[in-house]
Amino acid sequence: MHGHILLLNLLLCAIQAVSSFIHLEPNNATVLRGSEVHFNCSTDETWDLMTWLVDGRTVLSITMQQGAVGRDPAVSTVNHSTSELSVWELVLMSAPFRPTVQVVICELLPTKPSRSSATLFVQEQGNVTILEGDLSASEGTLVIFHCQMVGWYPDPVVIWVVNGTTVDRSDYNISSLQESDNLFHSNSVLQLKAETSTMVECCASVPATLEHQSSSVNLTVVPSGTTQDYTDLIAVTVVVCVIILLVILILLLYYRKKLTKSSSKNKLSSSLWTVNLNGERRCAAEESRGKANEGYHVEDVRDSGHSDLRDRVQSTVNIIRPPQVPDIVIFSSQNHNEEDFLNLYGKELKTFRQVTTV
């Protein structure tokens, strides 16, 4: 009899436990840093205080009579309760990044069971870049592409897409490194044989992203013969340019040499004229040097006996004049003879003696 009563009590406790509940949803949330996150805590039990904790830190407190009495500035709350069910929503307006999974707890006092928990995983989406940019390659050559992914958490999933088709995982490699800020920096290398012109795309993603991040470049494939033709054309162009430059250089050197010769001749003629003129002046000076004063003695010329000498010297100085250049006269052989020419210039031809008085 007592056994039946104990069994009945246990059954009633089980029914009460099933009928009373506290539930937090979603159970797991994965979002990007800075995203808005929503959690709902619901129960059919009577409670006095509801407390929300995120990663061990209290962010919101609610009472049954007054509602929210204290909250973190980064969170807000919404009451969705009905007459039969108590439902409160927690809104994280900007999910903070943590390199580990964060635990979200909804706790009720004095209800038992007193709490329910869920997990929050905040991830980081970085950048994707193909380092080479647009390329041109000869048909049949092997082209290498490098994809760089910076600032991701966790380590991103990487795929290559060529002309709309996903490349097999065995055709490229991936290497990753986690930095001191807990973010991953990854690199991937793809080797592709140039067959047709196509678009090459590198894509990266983490579970929290609905769409992947990508970077794309264009690969232009040219026939091998075309590349050779371009090479020949470039070579011919270079040779022609070199020949033209050589011809211009030779012409410049030739004209410079010619100008130098002409200048040298003019300088030589000027020098000869100067030498002749100077020579004539020196001859005239040597011819007259000392010959006009052979009887010179150191005497006092102020005596009366020398007055006639002074008079002669003065008269000689007055007679000396610079030679006059006759005007140019053009003679015709029919109207004038040699005698007329001599008569014209004979008047101007005189013999001068220079007398130097000291």
In the chain, what are the domain boundaries?
Answer: 17-123, 127-222
- pLDDT tens, residue by residue, 45-55: 889 999 999 99
User: Matching CATH topology for 17-123 and 127-222?
Assistant: yes
In this prediction, residue 1 carries a pLDDT of 40
313-338 mean pLDDT:
50
Nearest to 47 by CA among 36, 62, 59: 62
Q: Which two tokens stand for residue 313?
A: 């010297």
Q: Is the pLDDT of residue 148 over 90?
A: yes
67-71 mean pLDDT:
88
Residue percentage of the chain with pLDDT more than 70: 66
In this prediction, residue 323 carries a pLDDT of 54
23-52 mean pLDDT:
93
- CATH code of the domain made up of 17-123: 2.60.40.10
In this prediction, residue 12 carries a pLDDT of 35
The values of phi and psi at residue 53, to 5°, are: -125, 135
Give yes or no for a contact between 72 and 7, defined as CB atoms under 8 angstroms apart. Answer: no
Q: Higher pLDDT residue, 290 or 84?
A: 84
1-14 mean pLDDT:
40
Rounded Cα distance, 221 and 224, in Å: 9
- pLDDT tens, residue by residue, 212-266: 899 999 999 998 765 455 677 788 888 999 999 999 999 888 888 888 877 776 6
The class of domain 127-222 in CATH terms is: mainly beta
Rounded Cα distance, 5 and 40, in Å: 39
In this prediction, residue 267 carries a pLDDT of 61
Confidence of residue 101 (pLDDT cuts 50, 70, 90): very high
